[in-house]
Structure 1
Amino acid sequence: MQTLIVFIFVLSFLVFVHEFGHFIFAKRAGILVREFAIGFGPKVFTKMRGETLYSIRLLPLGGYVRMAGEDAEIVEIKTGTTVYAIQSDEGKLNHLYLYEPSQMDVHSFEVGRLLEADLEKELYVVLEKQDGSEQKYFLDPQAIVHYDNKTQMQIAPYDRQFGSRTVGQKAMTIFAGPLFNILLTIVLFAVYTFMTGVEDRLPVDRVIANSPAAEAGIQTGDLIVAIDGEKVNNMDSLRYKLLESKGNPVTITVKRDGKELNFPVTPQKSGEIYQIGVYFNINEMKREATLMESVADGFKQTYDWSVIILDGFGKLITGQLGIKSLGGPVQMGSITGEAAKAGFEQLIRWTALLSLNLGIFNLLPIPALDGSRLVFIGIEAVRGRPVNPNKESFVHFVGFALLIMLMIVVTFNDIKKVFFPG
């Protein structure tokens, strides 16, 4: 239960940061944000503040910011409907009830049968009064249509809709979600480094007997400084260089008694990684980090891990890695629980990695993801007009369906790995 709670908290936090990026830049562009939601499914908590409904939903596996005009607008009033409208001090209608409000004085309303309406551009309605006369009323740009006691919707003038914004504003609004995840990664890595210190040495504490390192001649007390001539000074860079070798011989450079020595070593595969058979003393690998070093390391680790993640995606596409190597919600939850048990610092580091994965994954040009939406905005910039909304929606729908299928397969793999590891 503790693992589940920690995982939900971490995932919800990452989703919040992602959607907050969309939200902030939508607001900056003047777009009406109808809802800021964490999770999917039935509403658990809602709060209306200003123009936006803030909600927490039952399934904590995502979230969304619903912007006016992003999909086909659903604010409409059918011709012939009897409208009960409230007129503001400026003479504009700011509340339109499509039913007779029982707890309000109907005599204070402008009442009539709807003959004509424009809720997006000219903002007006034409009502047929009880005496048969017709009267045109202009609408407040923030007018609210009340469908029944529980359902209401603010109108969205065209200049408040997503589609009315410039290509740059639309692109930045979509890009801001992944961007905020990447910025969060930098901050979390910087915090982690400040708390744990800078890892800038690889002093060998113990060499496993009969291991590749022992057979090559590496000894306790050696300081590993390079692999194939490229500097390595932390565990992550060492692991990646060994993984990159794919088990082929590498040249490991060590410092011993002030001299640099080179040893040919053939890494051994162990599961999904490659090892040479040495242990390091974590206390000797690090020193305290200054604030500037922590910030710099936050950027460096974000860059280094981005390269690793993109390389992994590339290997998935080329078939070098199979779908069984992917991890989904179950595995992420399990690892999050283990990170929490290992301490607050490790939880911060794991959260940073999840945030970076979320940011980069969303930038991939896969239908239904932010990357795909940016592709359509790019096409709009080139051709001078947007792609047909119905065609774009269909592409995203198909992409979403495929992502759900992939999630089911990955979750099935997760369950086998976590609960039936044999």
Structure 2
Amino acid sequence: MDTEGAGLMLTLLSFVVGFSLLVFIHEWGHYSVARLFGVRIDSFAIGFGRELFGWTDKRGVRWKFCMLPLGGYVKFHGDQSAASNPGAVEGLSEEERKDCFHFKPLWQRALIVFAGPAINLIAAAVVFAGFYLTYGITVAEPVVATVQPDSAAEQAGMLPGDRILAVSGETVERFTDIGSLVRLYPGRETTVLVERDRTPIALTVTFGTRYLEDRFGNRYPYGILGVASGPATRVTLGPIEALAEGGRQTVSMIQSIFITLGQMVMGIRSIEEVGGPLRIVTMTGDAAAQGLENWIWFLALISINLGVVNLLPIPVLDGGHLMFYAIEALKGSPLSQRAQELGYMAGLALMLLFMVVVTLNDLQSMAL
């Protein structure tokens, strides 16, 4: 592994500690809501594979750290595996069924599953809020002060004084919103709604393309409009305003992730842009090398990605469980155990294939 940007030990330590923390937060969401609904819990694991060390608490929960620090799980009573697919639950007594996850009401099971991704998103919002509470925010009106020559904005007929109202149908409230949206559409033609002399005007804009380049020479395209704002104002926030701003930032990033995923599905973006475990390890080390605050901010970004990815409707992920529960709600009964097992096998195969692809991306990029 190339660790020119950060030392090998710092890279590995920052990743293991950071990712384990995010996994703990995710699994704590499942654990705490399960406890709230009286579910018996057999184990709480950070990592997969053979147990390195652990302990059993007075409730009989085995808390353990395992060899591969690439995830974690909470194993409920009655689970066949760490993926929470039901095992031999038919042989349980009536008393045992009372604290078994798989016999809880549908809405309780759904909340327990949803709690993991949700707490990842909430944790990220809280981290952002902490930064905004400490440093405040810089706010500028979404009004064009200058238009760069030969830019996408100039070619579309944008003028100084135009107030940008929306980009590709997404409402703009601040000047920073413009960049967050534009960067998602490199080289793409879309509509930018502006207000000029109190009159709304829809401009067709083909955004320019620039590239971010990492230290392995990988280039990641982003869109560019070519406008600048007027003077910005530094605003100090109180706790409530900071939390609201943290939530706003989190929602904005969730939208960006879904837009990017949609572009990959439609073939607009290449899957080669997706970083796998090796790239994430390296980026975590780079963030840590830049200081504690950069590392914490980066972990918040990863926490959002972890929460969103886990909500995808793929069996073995939380979203796959929620998909099964939605089907159960519609048909009035659960899918057969065989159907669920086949779903988990297909989901596992899909995730393994995805991991192979992104890992090959990593190896190829790091070999350049």
Shorter-chain TM-score bucket reads 0.7 to 0.9
User: 2:140–2:174: 8 Å Cα contact kept in structure 1?
Assistant: yes
| 1:39 aligned residue (30, 35, 47) | 47
Structure showing the higher strand proportion among its residues: 1
Q: In the aligned structure 1, how far is the partner of 2:334 from the partner of 2:43?
A: 24
1:55 is matched by which residue type in structure 2? K
Paired position in structure 2 for 1:377: 325
| 2:249 aligned residue (291, 301, 305) | 301
Paired position in structure 1 for 2:77: 68
Mind listing any 5+ residue stretches in structure 1 that lack a counterpart?
76-117, 123-140, 142-156, 256-261
Paired position in structure 2 for 1:269: 209
Aligned CA distance change for structure 1 residues 213 and 365 (closer, same or farther; 3 Å): closer
Q: In the aligned structure 2, how far is the partner of 1:304 from the partner of 1:224?
A: 23
Q: In the aligned structure 2, how far is the partner of 1:20 from the partner of 1:411?
A: 28
Q: Find the residue that maps to 1:357 and give its secondary structure.
A: helix
Aligned CA distance change for structure 1 residues 171 and 254 (closer, same or farther; 3 Å): closer
Q: How is 1:385-396 mapped onto 2 (pairs within 5 angstroms)?
A: 385-396=333-344
Task: Kindly state the Cα deviation for residue 288 of structure 1 after the two structures are TM-superposed.
Answer: 3.0
Q: Does 1:356 align with 2:356?
A: no
Task: Kindly state the Cα deviation for residue 14 of structure 1 after the two structures are TM-superposed.
Answer: 0.9
Please give the per-residue CA displacement for 1:372-414, whole angstroms capped at 9, x wherever unaligned.
1112122223333322223212211221122012101101112
Q: Does 1:13 align with 2:42?
A: no
Give TM-score, length-normalised by structure 2: 0.78
Q: In the aligned structure 1, how far is the partner of 2:206 from the partner of 2:312?
A: 35
Q: Which stretch shows the higher mean deviation, 173-182 or 337-346?
A: 337-346
User: 2:182–2:225: 8 Å Cα contact kept in structure 1?
Assistant: no
Please give the per-residue CA displacement for 1:252-302, whole angstroms capped at 9, x wherever unaligned.
9799xxxxxx99975321231022457889x95644332222111011111
Q: In the aligned structure 2, how far is the partner of 1:245 from the partner of 1:395?
A: 36
Q: Find the residue that maps to 1:56 and give its secondary structure.
A: strand
User: 1:239–1:274: 8 Å Cα contact kept in structure 2?
Assistant: no
Q: Does 1:181 align with 2:107?
A: no
Aligned CA distance change for structure 1 residues 385 and 197 (closer, same or farther; 3 Å): same
Q: In the aligned structure 2, how far is the partner of 1:187 from the partner of 1:160?
A: 32
Q: How is 1:228-307 mapped onto 2 (pairs within 5 angstroms)?
A: 231=172, 233-235=174-176, 237-244=178-185, 246-248=187-189, 267-271=207-211, 272-276=221-225, 286-307=234-255
Q: Please identify the structure whose Cα radius of gyration is greater.
A: 1
Q: Find the residue that maps to 1:61 and give its secondary structure.
A: strand
Please give the per-residue CA displacement for 1:213-251, whole angstroms capped at 9, x wherever unaligned.
7899999xx899526685353545414235347444876
Aligned CA distance change for structure 1 residues 327 and 234 (closer, same or farther; 3 Å): farther
Q: Root-mean-square deviation (CA), in Å?
A: 3.6
Q: Which stretch shows the higher mean deviation, 372-381 or 298-307?
A: 372-381
Aligned CA distance change for structure 1 residues 394 and 216 (closer, same or farther; 3 Å): closer
Please give the per-residue CA displacement for 1:79-138, whole angstroms capped at 9, x wherever unaligned.
xxxxxxxxxxxxxxxxxxxxxxxxxxxxxxxxxxxxxxx97317xxxxxxxxxxxxxxxx
Q: Find the residue that maps to 1:382 and give its secondary structure.
A: helix
Aligned CA distance change for structure 1 residues 317 and 213 (closer, same or farther; 3 Å): closer
Paired position in structure 1 for 2:3: none
Q: In the aligned structure 1, how far is the partner of 2:133 from the partner of 2:161?
A: 24
Identical-residue share of aligned pairs (%) = 31
Give TM-score, length-normalised by structure 1: 0.69
Paired position in structure 2 for 1:366: 314
Aligned CA distance change for structure 1 residues 277 and 119 (closer, same or farther; 3 Å): closer
Please give the per-residue CA displacement for 1:324-348, whole angstroms capped at 9, x wherever unaligned.
1212212222222222233333323
Task: Kindly state the Cα deviation for residue 5 of structure 1 after the two structures are TM-superposed.
Answer: 1.1
Paired position in structure 1 for 2:285: 337
Task: Kindly state the Cα deviation for residue 160 of structure 1 after the two structures are TM-superposed.
Answer: 2.0
